[in-house]
Amino acid sequence: MESEPGADAPGSPGPAGPLPATGDSRVDEAVSQLEDLAGLPVAEHPAIFERVHQRLTDALGDAGARERAVPDGGPGPLGS
């Protein structure tokens, strides 16, 4: 199998190591899928990027909905 041009070039980035946790398991799971890119042909990368993007968009939308439900960061309506 032939490697891609520049893959073994001096100064080319290697694996970055483990990714830090974000505090949101959905975000961590989505971002961890990027680690699969190294073992896949470049032609398959867009599908991975699209899947990760969709999961991150969903997580961000859910976070925004929670913030709108409790705009001041408090526990909710008085008495709850």
Model confidence pLDDT, tens digit, residues 26-50: 999 999 999 989 999 999 999 999 9
Q: Which residue has the higher pLDDT, 4 or 68?
A: 68
Contact between 61 and 32 under an 8 Å Cβ cutoff? The reply is: no
Query: CA 7, 43, 57, 36 torsion: positive or negative?
Result: negative
Instruction: State the pLDDT at residue 5.
Output: 52
Query: For the whole prediction, is pTM greater than 0.85?
Result: no
Sign, Cα dihedral of 10, 15, 17, 19: positive
d(CA 50, CA 34): 11
Q: Rounded CA gap, 55 and 49, in Å?
A: 10
Spacing of C-alpha 49 from chain mean position? 9
Higher pLDDT among residues 64 and 15, named by residue: 64
